[in-house]
Amino acid sequence: MAYNQLVTDLAPLFLEDMPLVDLRAPIEFEEGAFPHAINLPLMSNEERALVGTCFKQHGQAAAIELGHSLVCGEVKAERMAAWQAHLAAHPNAVLYCFRGGLRSQTVQQWLAEAGLERPRVAGGYKALRQLLIQTVEQSARDDAWTVLTGMTGSGKTHLLNRVARAIDLEGHAHHRGSSFGRLPEGQPTPINFDNALAIEILKRRHRGEHHFAVEDESHLIGRCAIPLPLFERMGRAPVVVVEVTRDERAEQIRQDYVVDLAKRYRTRHGAEAGWVLFCEALLESLARLKKRLGDLGWRELDALMRSALEEQARSGHSEGHLAWIILLLERYYDPMYLYQLEKKQDRIVFRGDRAACLDYLNQLADPAL
């Protein structure tokens, strides 16, 4: 392998889950990166800021000179040791910085001088990111998409997890997509959500898949925005409606948003602290709907929720939550859903129960089924 080797065919880096060494500063990495990348920066945040200021005031040559003076001696030795250790464990890793320029070229040269030659990404992070953006745009334009909708609590996510060609947008967003959708694990950055979603689409298109089913979502899933080309495509896509009784939906919500959510908080934070955080999260979720429910409506539901939480804490039983869940469905979620469904009438291609919708969606993905 020759020094200064560039990787110009970028898709295989994602298709093959190649290990990537991100040489950007930590603040850049935290804003957005790729699933198989590790951040081993050439410069710290502070060093990068100093070099950037120098570049603006005195030009590139002075900035390069400052960079070399900041990363030298023991600092350089420590960072070299980290790169060498990681590359020893991942000998097929590829280097990149923001544009594939000075930072990755410098590290590539230093490693080569130490007898370790590794390629860097032509165009760096920016080129990799552009590939993923173009992947989503192309799929939204060229592939077939079907949207699954249904009243709140219909178990749409659970159903889609059994569909061969479904893409779980909420799974990528780490959020359940409603006012009650926040999870204790938190969400990825919007860019990391974009990247992970695009990589899944890239891999599946590479396998020859070109028909995808997704859940009906708002543009924002928590803080993560569905890429605009895909969201607009979803707004034109055929719609499948899953029909589930109100009582079944209320029970599904109790399982997902009470039983499962309480367990997740306790698993993450411990039994006592997790319970407190779960109660706070549930009450805050309801409070976010106060304007829509009106003060009196919110107070009634809040009292029912607090009573159910007290009963759950005392006895371990969560059935008391069904009272506020059913009222919330009747007063808020069901009317909102029916209003939105009315605007989709001309795109509805199928209605049925969970089993029928599952069969229909799987047949769309693979007519041989």
* Active site residues per annotation: 97
The kind and range of the H/E element at 22 are strand 20-22
Q: How far is CA 20 from CA 78, 190, 336, in A?
A: 19, 20, 45
Contact by Cβ (8 Å): 232, 219: no
Classify residue 222 as left (phi > 0), alpha (psi -120 to 50) or beta: left
Within 137-262, strands assigned E span: 144-149, 211-215, 220-221, 224-225, 239-242
The kind and range of the H/E element at 75 are helix 73-89
Residues 287, 180: Cα–Cα separation, whole Å = 10
Kind of pairing between the strands at 224-225 and 220-221:
antiparallel
- Residue 57 contacts by C-beta under 8 Å, 6 or more apart in sequence? none
Which two tokens mark 138?
């192309």
